[in-house]
Amino acid sequence: MRPRSRVEVVGGSDSDDGVNDVLVIGLDFGTTYSGVAWATYEGFNANEINVITTWPEQPDEAKAPTQLFYEDGKIMWGFGIPIDADPVQWFKLLLIKDIDLDEETRSSEFLLRGRKMLRENNKTAIDLIADYLRLLWKYVLEMITKDCGSSVVDALPFHVVLTVPAIWKGYAREGMEKAARVAGILDGRLAGPTNLTFAPEPEAAALQSLDAGEIYVVCDAGGGTVDLISYEIDSGVRPIVMHEAAEGTGGLCGGIFIDQAFEDICKARLGRKWDRLSKAGIKQIMKKEWESGVKLAFNHPSLNDYLVSIPAEAFGSSGDSLNDDSKEPIIKNGIIHFKSSHLCQAFSKPFLQIEELLDEQIKRIQSQGTPPTANSMQGIILVGGLGGSPYLHNGLKARYSPVGIDVLQSTVVKPRTAICRGAVYKGFMEGAGGKFDHQPNMISITSTISRSSFGTIFRAKFEAGKHLEYEKVWDNNECEYKAENQMAWYLKRGETVSGKDPVRRSYYQILKNDFGRSFSITMHQCNALTAPSRLTPDVGFLCTIDCAVDTPFGALEDYTNPNGEIFKRLTYDIEMVPSGASVEFVVYINGKRQGAQNANIHFE
């Protein structure tokens, strides 16, 4: 569970006269590629989810590159970037703070180059994401309008589901929302406000033929992150009902790290010849030869050579030989002949990390009391761009099949489009006020497991033996000793929570003077396995909720302390509502729910 970036009600149209009044758009904004799917209610009910597969300059491709190029005041994106350009890329990862990255990832070539591009273009990560989303959104609306007609699109409220890595923290999701706003996705429309919700990328992946009692691990192996979520199937008859079986895991070990390793292998083999390559020449190797060819086809072990053509410019105008058999891999006629053993070096480290993540996930399922046998732990489902790798698929099969766990690639949709299609399911499931809960094509997730503890600091009445002496402070207003820096947890790590079961806690403030009609509450987060009862170094800042109070100071209830002094008492409730990729916080003052205009969340 992760926090949302603002306090709001998530829902579709307020109309009660039907449910065919919403257009759900799923945006899979990825580190290397982005995809989009959409559906009207009528189409969704007929099991028709539309995936955009036609892009500018590329008529048949499931996703568009998440890349930008700035030139002469113009912004180019996706497939429209010239082949000889040096595009800005991997900027999604730049939302993550260094403190939340391990040392190796922090100093990786991708992040170093990404930060360099920020400086060169005088942009922030949010600026870049907003620029990309603006262009993507404009094109998406053009494509939907072309298919449905402007009169239909203009009449439908939008519900946009933006997928995010499950391992992201609140500030990164807030950054994504800021970017979406700047991009114009939430601009006002005559059809009504556009709702924006977030979905964890692996949760958004649509599952396939399921039987009750089985457990599946969804492994979303994308360009930057690999996220795992496990589901136990409660009902395999549509609408499918499932719940999260164990706390999910994830890490930064996606496809870009394999790409970097392959580029290093090529540099090592070509030596100074690599330095002669232009940007277009490097792109030809990395995009055409590697990403669209060898990487997708690679398997191990294999008796076949994997051929990578090197542009002629690498061999120079002096006529350097196009052949070199002095060491492996050999070069013939300007083509490197890689054996599978050579390329294993590129895949080995990220794949080892993925195996470690899967092993940890299966152990967590075991700790929940369900052994991973063929009768319960049915399989691992691979989605995401890297999820289509035959090497990953076959390697995991060899590892887990002997213990009765199947490794599957999605048979319903291609792994690359599973996330954006699943985001549309998520939109209809959670974003329309529950109107679609019982539709036959629905996939319903009844509960998830928290990956962190969420709570706030409060002062309790001091109790000797329970509280520490250094926590003891005298409260002049209430004339008693209090224990400061105590933790009230709404949700603890590892707890099973339902999106329909909010947790509400009551608080109060004793006020002597007018409080200015506003106050702030600080929420905290703890990733430790056991949530502490008091503030410790493991407890970190999560967000601040700024609240405006409609009630005048004089209208607040009176409070008389033991000395007969009269004060005012402000009472309020903070409600935490679990919601897929996040948690929402809702504020109630004097029993009245506060809207987004009166309660705003800030993660910085």
Cα–Cα distance between 50 and 147 in angstroms, integer? 10
Confidence band of 205 (pLDDT split at 50, 70, 90): low
Contact 377, 370 (CB under 8 A): yes
Buried b (16+ CB within 10 A) or exposed e, 57-93: eeeebbbbbbbbbbeeeebbbbebbeeebebbbbbbb
Residues 512, 538, single domain; the answer is yes
Residue 599 vs residue 332, higher pLDDT:
332
Q: What is the CA radius of gyration of the chain?
A: 27
According to the model, what pLDDT value does residue 450 have? 83
Out of 331, 346, 361, a domain closes at 346
What amino acid is encoded at 370 in this protein? T
Cα–Cα distance between 34 and 92 in angstroms, integer? 11
Packed helices 340-367 and 255-270: angle between N→C axes, nearest 10 degrees: 160
Residues 424, 411, single domain; the answer is no
Query: Helix H segments across 183-215?
Result: none
| Lowest mean pLDDT, pick from 220-229, 304-313, 363-372, 583-592 | 363-372
Single out the residue of 209, 197, 215, 218 nearest to residue 419, CA to CA: 218
Q: Is the peptide bond before 200 cis (omega within 30 degrees of 0)?
A: no
Single out the residue of 306, 313, 312, 348 nearest to residue 328, CA to CA: 306
Q: Is 562 exposed, middle or buried (0-12, 13-18, 19+ CB in 10 A)?
A: exposed
Cα–Cα distance between 223 and 385 in angstroms, integer? 7
What amino acid is encoded at 378 in this protein? Q
Helix, strand and coil content of the chain, in percent to the nearest 5, comes to: 30, 30, 40
Strands 23-28 and 158-164: parallel
Query: 448 lies in a domain?
Result: no
pLDDT at 443 over 80: no
pLDDT at 410 over 80: no
Contact 411, 247 (CB under 8 A): no
Query: 492 lies in a domain?
Result: yes
Residues 373, 425, single domain; the answer is no
DSSP annotation of 459 reads E
Residues 461, 545, single domain; the answer is yes
Contact 79, 58 (CB under 8 A): yes
Residues 379, 242, single domain; the answer is yes
Q: Taking the mean position of all CA atoms in its chain, how far away is CA 459?
A: 35
Query: 14 lies in a domain?
Result: no
**Could you tell me the CATH number of the domain that includes residue 403?**
3.30.420.40
Three-state DSSP at 304 gives coil
pLDDT at 442 over 70: no
Number of structural domains the chain divides into: 4
Cα–Cα distance between 326 and 233 in angstroms, integer? 57
Residue 418 vs residue 434, higher pLDDT:
418
According to the model, what pLDDT value does residue 350 have? 94
Confidence band of 18 (pLDDT split at 50, 70, 90): very low
- Tens digits of residue pLDDT in 303-315: 889 999 999 999 8
Instruction: Copy the structure tokens of residue 22.
Output: 């919403």
Query: 15 lies in a domain?
Result: no
Q: Is 484 exposed, middle or buried (0-12, 13-18, 19+ CB in 10 A)?
A: middle
Query: 3 lies in a domain?
Result: no
Query: 447 lies in a domain?
Result: no
Instruction: Copy the structure tokens of residue 27.
Output: 């945006």
In DSSP terms, 600 is beta-bridged to 546
Cα–Cα distance between 82 and 478 in angstroms, integer? 70
Contact 265, 345 (CB under 8 A): yes
Cα–Cα distance between 479 and 339 in angstroms, integer? 79
pLDDT at 19 over 60: no
DSSP 472-513: EEEETTTTEEEEEEEEEEEE-TT-EE-TT--EEEEEEEEESS
Dihedral sign, CA of 460, 464, 469, 473?
Answer: positive
Q: Model-level pTM?
A: 0.80
pLDDT (mean) for 202-209: 59
- Tens digits of residue pLDDT in 294-352: 998 999 888 889 999 999 999 887 667 889 999 999 999 999 999 999 999 999 999 99
Out of 442, 476, 504, a domain closes at 442
| CA–CA distances in Å: residue 30 to residues 25, 286, 360, 420 | 16, 18, 25, 10
pLDDT at 231 over 90: no
Query: 138 lies in a domain?
Result: yes
Instruction: Copy the structure tokens of residue 363.
Output: 């152990």
Residues 119, 98, single domain; the answer is yes
Instruction: Copy the structure tokens of residue 414.
Output: 């291609």
Residues 330, 386, single domain; the answer is no
Contact 453, 528 (CB under 8 A): yes
Which run of H or of E encompasses 364?
A: helix 340-367
Residues 557, 598, single domain; the answer is yes
Percent over 70 (pLDDT), the chain:
87
Which run of H or of E encompasses 197?
A: strand 195-200
Residues 171, 219, single domain; the answer is no
Single out the residue of 400, 351, 405, 407 nearest to residue 381, CA to CA: 407
- Tens digits of residue pLDDT in 116-140: 888 888 899 999 999 999 999 999 9
Residue ranges making up the domain that contains 412: 215-252+352-416
Instruction: Copy the structure tokens of residue 169.
Output: 């923290």
Residues 220, 261, single domain; the answer is no
What residues contact 244, with CB distance under 8 A and at least 6 apart? Answer: 229, 230, 231, 232, 445, 447, 448, 449, 496
Backbone angles phi, psi at 310, to 5 degrees: -105, 130
| CA–CA distances in Å: residue 270 to residues 264, 283, 330, 597 | 10, 16, 11, 60
Residues 34, 54, single domain; the answer is yes
Cα–Cα distance between 14 and 356 in angstroms, integer? 46
pLDDT (mean) for 359-375: 71
Angle 243-247-250 from CA coordinates, rounded to 5°: 120
**Could you tell me the CATH number of the domain that includes residue 597?**
2.60.34
Query: 262 lies in a domain?
Result: yes
Residues 301, 373, single domain; the answer is no
Cα–Cα distance between 437 and 449 in angstroms, integer? 21
| Lowest mean pLDDT, pick from 104-108, 279-283, 474-478, 504-508 | 104-108
SS3 string, 548-571, reads ECCCCHHHCEEEECCCCCEEEEEE
